[in-house]
A and B are shown apart, each in its own frame.
Chain A
Amino acid sequence: MHKIADIEIQHDIMVANKKLARRNQKIFDKANTFSIDVLGAIGSGKTSLIETLIQKMDYKIGVIAGDVISKFDAGRIERYNVPVVGLNTGKECHLDAHLVEHALPDLPLKDIDLLFIENVGNLICPVDFDLGSHIRMVVISVTEGDDTAEKHPLIFKDADLVIINKVDIADAVGADSDKMVADVKEINPDINVIKSSLKTGEGLDEIISAIDGFIKDR
């Protein structure tokens, strides 16, 4: 004999990811590690910014290189003698909390005050997947076009800090960086938006003090 049964599952994959993310954050907190999810388009300057901050900031820094070809990014970071784990995301379009969880045992978290997690270069897919980081820093650049923000509101709505990079070449690519700042503010009025150039050093002090601020009032 057979019978028919209706079963409530209510398993939300996004919620499941959030639970894992909270678990990651507990691990960070226990080790006293402040973590930053670094998001942005391909080539916007995520790795370059991390490299610069490693040199300029006084924290013990660690990095999870999660972009698609993480091997290359990890190699760049290794030159600064900081702990780095390259995540093999393969064809994934975003990191998720589970992938990050797998990287954690390979990092000496107790010796890391500040952990950067470089996400996959993509302004859409990573948005829905918390990693457990304390803040999200979105790095976009003028070369992606000055309509980037209005085209991708969600990533800016969920961000804690936004960097508009490569302003040194804004004129050359015909992009209005002030418009980009205004667009982000339209989406997220209270957020700190910093224009930067990793070539001239513009905006770096501001980025550093913004991150310092987040760490202080964690």
Chain B
Amino acid sequence: MHELSMANAMVKTVLDVAEKNNATEILEVTIEVGQLTMLNPEQLKFLLDVLVENTLLEGSKINIEEVPVEIDCKTCNYEGLPNMDGSDHYLAIVRCPECGGRNLEITAGRECNVKTIKIEQEDDADASGSE
């Protein structure tokens, strides 16, 4: 899979934002990964730990939050989790657990989102520098 290129993109995003906000230290990073992305959180974590060496991110706490799959049924308007108790959870995205309809939109579970960071900055730094 493409954990490495995703991890690289995440590190770059975080470092860019940290720099723009005059961070002296990055304490924490929270990343959301959708369950349908096929990104393996363990592997992502490992790669992030390697990639952050000698950057401002070294030693930061990295939280990876898995985002469950949600569907929106166009037939019965069911919104929520698909039926994931079957053995093959990927096929569950295909049928609505309420009406069995197959006209579904996947509304969550495909994200790969750098959500928030907690940084330490100089007191007089301009925190609005991110935009």
Q: A residues touching B (Cβ–Cβ < 8 Å)?
A: 1-15, 92-94, 124-125, 127-128, 150-154, 157, 186-189
Instruction: Tell me if B37 is interfacial: C-beta within 8 Å of chain A.
Output: yes
Instruction: Report the bound CA distance from A150 to B95 in whole Å.
Output: 13
Instruction: Taking A4-B27, A11-B13, A128-B110 as given, write out 15 further A-B residue pairs in contact, using a Cβ cutoff of 8 Å, ordered by the A residue number.
Output: A2-B24, A3-B121, A5-B121, A7-B116, A8-B115, A10-B116, A13-B13, A13-B113, A14-B37, A94-B2, A124-B1, A124-B38, A125-B38, A153-B94, A186-B94
Instruction: Report the bound CA distance from A187 to B93 in whole Å.
Output: 9
In the bound complex, do residue B103 and residue A154 qualify as a contact, i.e. CB atoms below 8 Å apart? no
Residues of A within 8 A of B115 (CB): 8-10
Instruction: Report the bound CA distance from A10 to B13 in whole Å.
Output: 10
Shortest beta-carbon distance from A89 to chain B in Å: 11
Residues of A within 8 A of B50 (CB): none
Residues of A within 8 A of B90 (CB): 151-154
Instruction: Report the bound CA distance from A21 to B117 in whole Å.
Output: 27
Residues of B within 8 A of A127 (CB): 38
Interface size on B, residues (CB 8 A): 39
Q: What is the count of residue pairs linking A and B with beta-carbon distances less than 8 angstroms?
A: 102
- Chain B CB within 10 Å — which of A128, A153, A186, A188 has the most? A128
Instruction: Tell me if B112 is interfacial: C-beta within 8 Å of chain A.
Output: yes
Tell me whether A125 and B1 are in contact in the complex, defined as CB-CB below 8 angstroms, given that A2-B24, A4-B119, A9-B17 are known contacts: yes
Between A and B, 5 residue pairs with Cβ closer than 8 Å are A7-B118, A11-B114, A14-B112, A154-B93, A187-B94
Tell me whether A125 and B2 are in contact in the complex, defined as CB-CB below 8 angstroms, given that A1-B123, A13-B9, A154-B90 are known contacts: yes
Instruction: Tell me if B91 is interfacial: C-beta within 8 Å of chain A.
Output: yes
Secondary structure dominating the interface of B:
mixed
Residues of B within 8 A of A1 (CB): 122-123
In the bound complex, do residue A13 and residue B112 qualify as a contact, i.e. CB atoms below 8 Å apart? yes
Residue of B nearest to A126 (CB): B2
Instruction: Report the bound CA distance from A107 to B69 in whole Å.
Output: 39
Tell me whether A5 and B2 are in contact in the complex, defined as CB-CB below 8 angstroms, given that A14-B112, A125-B38, A189-B103 are known contacts: no
Residues of B within 8 A of A5 (CB): 21, 118-121, 127
Instruction: Report the bound CA distance from A188 to B123 in whole Å.
Output: 55
Residue of B nearest to A150 (CB): B91
Instruction: Report the bound CA distance from A13 to B44 in whole Å.
Output: 14
Residue of A nearest to B24 (CB): A2
Residues of A within 8 A of B37 (CB): 14, 128
In the bound complex, do residue B13 and residue A9 qualify as a contact, i.e. CB atoms below 8 Å apart? yes
Residues of A within 8 A of B94 (CB): 153, 157, 186-187
In residues 15-38 of chain B, which contact A (Cβ within 8 Å)?
17, 21, 24, 27, 36-38
Instruction: Report the bound CA distance from A1 to B121 in whole Å.
Output: 9
Shortest beta-carbon distance from A2 to chain B in Å: 5
Residue of B nearest to A188 (CB): B102
Residue of B nearest to A96 (CB): B5
Tell me whether A153 and B120 are in contact in the complex, defined as CB-CB below 8 angstroms, given that A10-B113, A14-B110 are known contacts: no
The 7 closest A-B pairs by CB, nearest first: A1-B123, A12-B113, A13-B112, A11-B114, A9-B114, A11-B13, A13-B9
